[in-house]
């Protein structure tokens, strides 16, 4: 198995989480639109909520990567 450092694995996880938050927000919006018949309304709301959640996680990712603790998760 490849030897990944802890910082790279956390960055990978946060980027996947940000992507999933965006996709889930859109899918939930589409689902609610189909159930209520108000076609673009909940799609747009889900998109906006997903974008804000993704941006929040991407900002956290950048802050985590920029933080220089000197050991990069290695002992």
Helical segments of the chain, H only = 6-36, 39-66
pLDDT per residue over 21-71, tens digit each?
Answer: 999 999 999 999 999 998 889 999 999 999 999 998 888 888 877 875 555
Which residues contact residue 57 at a Cβ distance below 8 angstroms, ignoring those fewer than 6 apart? 14, 17, 18, 21
Query: For residue 45, how many C-alpha atoms fall within 13 Å in the half-sphere facing its CB?
Result: 11
Residue with tokens 């990567």: 65
Residue 73 near residue 8, CB atoms below 8 Å? no
Instruction: State the average pLDDT over residues 8-16.
Output: 83
Is pTM beyond 0.85? Reply is no
């Amino acid at each position: 198995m490849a030897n990944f450092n802890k910082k790279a694995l956390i960055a990978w996880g946060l980027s996947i989480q940000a992507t999933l938050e965006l996709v889930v927000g859109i899918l939930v919006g589409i689902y609610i639109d189909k159930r209520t018949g108000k076609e673009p309304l909940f799609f747009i709301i889900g998109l906006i909520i997903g974008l804000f959640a993704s941006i929040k996680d991407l900002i956290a990712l950048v802050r985590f990567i920029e933080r220089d603790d000197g050991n990069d998760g290695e002992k």
